[in-house]
Homo-oligomer: A and B are copies of this chain.
Amino acid sequence: MRYLPHTDEDIAEMLKAVGKESLDALFSTIPEACRRRTDLELPEALTEWELNDIMGSLAGSMAVSPEYRIFLGAGSYEHFIPASVTYLLERSEFSTAYTPYQPEISQGTLQAVFEYQTLVAALLGMDIANASLYDGASALAEALLMAARVSRRQKVALSSLIHPLYRRVVRTYLEPAGFEILELPYAADGRTDLNHLGNLDDLAAIAVQSPNTFGCIEDLAAIGNLTRGTKTLFIASFTEPLAYGLYKSPGSQGADIACGEGQSFGIPQSYGGPGLGMFACLKPYLRSMPGRLVGQTTDREGKRGFVLTLATREQHIRREKATSNICTNSSLCAVTSAMYMASLGGTGLRELAKLNYDKTEYLKKELNRAGFKTPFAGPTFNEFVVEFPVGFECAYQRLLDQNIVAGLPLGRYYPELPNGYLLCVTETKTREDLDTLVARLSNP
């Protein structure tokens, strides 16, 4: 096997050195009763070439662009990824390194993550950001746990327009530990209705997502005004960070924590993972923050360098009192997103965000013109809800056969919207794609 360097001769010499007769004898400390009684029943080893065939045919069965036109967003976004980012990320000094525990020979990862922290903090308008969490959903769960630690409260309010799958993850994390979750309904304009919030005295946090699951931009300023001066933390979640190239940042609107999914920034969709949990907050919360942090320091000669820092918050030091159990995170995805953000730059980010917005507005208008309803009037970014006619399911299926995925049916998550579909338009869609969609929808 080409990964195993041992020749028979090597094995013989090494066994001799350790005083064992056979490879099996190495396992002498495993009691007989603990030994596996049967051989591994695994399919025969494949050659590299057979593997290529098999994986090629599995991958070939998936519906992806350019063969398919996919108008799905809802937490995973199709964006163009520069070949330069793909190349850089494949450099094995980045990809095959471990967590940078030995900083002197890990300055590449450390500086790149430090820059990532800087870019994320700038993007979200926050003071500090960590080195990443698993994904947007677990980042939100960690943010709520952090708010509970900071506020010493057990109840959190969650907008019902937070991604439905994120809310399921939050329940998984919070319910066993005895937290209470209040879900906030939404208003007619497709934004969170804060009227039923009641008083904040027992609330650890209010969490909303913007753009929310209907694609609408939440009134973050209003929430910021509500929580300002209280012990309740304002958590702004997101699934599409590109929106902050155009819209005001959570930090500028009074958020205490901003967290969400960074997949949009140069990370392949990969059927939902790996993703990138972005996590940023205000400086006073630093020591309650989950996840790794990279900090700047100097070496013995006074030269700038970077290290993992504040590990005292982490599980390997604080054990059960750690701010979180997170250890392996999404470091390579964080570096990827930094490469992507650097590629865009401030100028490019704004232009790209505006283009997403404009293309989405174009589709919205064309759909309206063709007679389709868009039930929510709130401003959107690159997603919006459209109400298709009753019985649209068959048409949806026919469009699939024409290699078009016409959005996400919302009825599964919002039963009150049985004909609601969430459509997403990114820069990957040309005007022709949009015109084709409208035409096919009109004559499915």
Contact = CB atoms under 8 A, between A and B. Distances in A.
A83 B53 contact: no
A332 B295 CA distance: 40
A90 interface: yes
B80 A49 contact: yes
Contacts of A92: 87
Contact of A66 (B56, B66, B90, B428): B56
A48 interface: yes
A82 B51 CA distance: 12
Nearest to A57: B66
Nearest to A91: B91
A92 B90 CA distance: 11
Interface string A43-72: 000001100010010000000001000000
A243 B118 CA distance: 57
Copies in the complex: 2
Interface in A333-389: none
Interface string A72-101: 000000001011000100111000000000
Nearest to A48: B82
A53 B428 CA distance: 11
A380 to B, nearest CB: 23
Given A53-B66, A90-B87, A80 B428 contact: no
A92 B48 CA distance: 25
A56 B66 CA distance: 10
A374 B48 CA distance: 33
A310 to B, nearest CB: 35
A357 B80 CA distance: 46
B49 A83 contact: no
A428 B52 CA distance: 12
B90 A49 contact: no
Given A53-B66, A56-B66, A66-B53, A48 B80 contact: yes
Nearest to A50: B430
Contacts of A49: 80, 428
Contacts of A56: 66
A48 B49 CA distance: 31
A66 B56 CA distance: 10
Interface in A386-406: none
B428 A83 contact: no
A49 B66 CA distance: 11
A264 to B, nearest CB: 16
Nearest to A93: B91
A83 B53 CA distance: 14
A92 B84 CA distance: 11
Contact of A48 (B53, B83, B87, B90): B83
Interface of A: 48-49, 53, 56, 66, 80, 82-83, 87, 90-92, 428
11 contacts: A48-B80, A48-B82, A48-B83, A49-B80, A49-B428, A53-B66, A56-B66, A87-B90, A87-B92, A90-B90, A91-B91
- Give 5 closest A-B pairs by Cβ, nearest first: A49-B80, A48-B82, A53-B66, A48-B83, A56-B66
